[in-house]
Structure 1
Amino acid sequence: MRFMMVVKATKETEAGTPPSKELIDAMMRYNEELVKAGVLIAAEGLHPSSNAVRISYPVPGGKPKVVDGPFTEAKEIIAGFTIIEVKSREEAIEWALRMPDPNGFGEGEIELRQIFEAPELIQDPEALAKEIELREQVTRHKKL
């Protein structure tokens, strides 16, 4: 089971304030634990929404709308994420609880979301086989 720990933005992350050395060190130790346990897939921080673009589809079948950031509700914005692969929801929660306060100011908030696996979404066996082959191609490409 794969899970994404979504780190919510704060005023500081949206202002582009870099994390403290202490927070970076704590996150590095945490990520090392994830690697040693063999559960880490990815862990990344994101630039503020002032550098972002939102693409929406206001009319079904219509042309997409592009809006430049910044966006107003910091609590609805993602500042970073960690993706892990674990055996259960409970294990994912345990790992999420071990993450240091991701913003270091007592304002950190993590949302834990399970990632859909292809068989949960794709019922057609032919389409599922294509999806699995695409994922295998990505894995092979990364190894090159």
Structure 2
Amino acid sequence: MRFMIIVKATADSEAGKMPSRELLTEMGKYNEQLINAGVLLAGEGLHPSARGARVKFEGSKRTVVDGPFAETKELIAGFWLIQVKSKEEAIEWVRRCPNPFECDSEIEIRQVFEMEDFGDAATPELCAQEERMRAQLAQA
């Protein structure tokens, strides 16, 4: 099972405040633990929303809105993508994580859809296409 571990933004992260050397060191150790356990697939921090954009979809119309975005509690400051056996195991990994901002913060855990989750809508052709794309990504 794959899980996206979503680090929620804070006022400091949105202001562009960089983490301390100590926090970077602790995060590096944590990431090494994830790698050594064979569960880390990807993980990155994100720049503040002021440097981002959103694309709003209304029918066939697309509207681009530049950041910053107001609702800090709804923004993402970073993520990990991990592969573990259960939600409980994902929770245990997150419980070991250093506090990402050295202040009150929140991390959300969300399971990633797999093709089998889509039932009959996941035709053999779509499943084969998914496998081809994953193989291409693995080679990149």
TM class by shorter chain equals over 0.9
Q: What is the identity percentage for the equivalent residue pairs of Structure 1 and Structure 2? A: 52
Distance 2:122 2:68 in 1: 38
Partner SS, residue 90 of structure 2: helix
1:6 maps onto 2:19 in alignment: no
Please tell me the residue identity of whatever aligns with 1:128. C
Match of 1:125 in 2: 124
1:22 maps onto 2:22 in alignment: yes
Mean alpha-carbon deviation: is it higher for 117-126 or for 93-102? 117-126
Match of 2:112 in 1: 115
Q: CA deviation at 1:101?
A: 0.7
Q: CA deviation at 1:79?
A: 0.2
Which digits, 9 at most, give the CA deviation of each residue in 1:88-134, with x for residues without a partner? 111111001111111112x1210000011122235211111111111
* Alpha-carbon RMSD: 1.0
Structure 1, unaligned runs of 5 or more: none
Match of 1:92 in 2: 90
Partner SS, residue 16 of structure 2: coil
Match of 2:65 in 1: 67
Partner SS, residue 78 of structure 2: strand
Structure 2, unaligned runs of 5 or more: none
Question: TM-score, normalised on structure 2?
Answer: 0.95
Distance 2:44 2:71 in 1: 21
Which 4+ runs in 1 deviate beyond 3 A?
none
Match of 1:104 in 2: 102
Q: CA deviation at 1:17?
A: 0.5
